[in-house]
């Protein structure tokens, strides 16, 4: 399974989860955030926090649906899943030395560790 931006997930069986709908949603949210940020009121800041949480939930749910679909199709065809991100070279150290060896900032390190766990999970 390849993970990307244009197509969020692509499997060797031909399943492609496009990112177009998610990108359109993010673009719309960007416009609404800009509108709220321009007001600079207390209620606008509160609404921005709500909107941020809502967008996170939407993206999380979309990713969940995509991964559930991909894994159920793999289970139906009795095939294994292997995740490969676009920057596969950045994960090379993780695969060689173990999960705890990833270096970088805390956010990047957490992402790499999650990717390593996904890599070794299947």
Structural domain containing residue 120: 87-122
106 and 67 part of one domain: no
Q: What element of type H or E holds 17?
A: strand 16-18
Mean pLDDT of the chain: 78
Q: Strand, coil or helix: what is 63?
A: helix
- The tally of domains found in the chain comes to 2
Q: Closest Cα partner for 88 from 122, 118, 121?
A: 118
71 and 94 part of one domain: no
CA distance 88 to 81: 16
Q: What is the pTM of this model?
A: 0.64
CA distance 5 to 18: 8
9 and 67 part of one domain: yes
76 and 92 part of one domain: no
Q: Mean pLDDT across the stretch 91-119? A: 53
CB atoms within 10 A of CB 49: 9
Band of residue 111 on the pLDDT scale cut at 50, 70, 90: low
């Amino acid at each position: 399974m390849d993970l990307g931006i244009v197509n969020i997930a692509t499997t060797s069986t031909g399943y492609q989860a496009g990112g177009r709908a998610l990108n359109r949603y993010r673009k719309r949210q960007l416009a609404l955030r800009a509108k709220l940020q321009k007001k600079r009121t207390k209620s606008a800041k509160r609404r921005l926090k709500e909107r941020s949480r809502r967008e996170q939930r939407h993206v999380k749910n979309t990713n969940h649906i995509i991964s559930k679909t991909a894994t159920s199709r793999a289970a139906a065809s009795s095939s294994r899943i292997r995740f490969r991100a676009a920057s596969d070279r950045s994960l090379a150290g993780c695969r060689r030395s173990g999960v705890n060896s990833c270096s970088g900032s805390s956010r990047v390190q957490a992402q790499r560790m999650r990717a390593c766990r996904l890599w070794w999970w299947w």
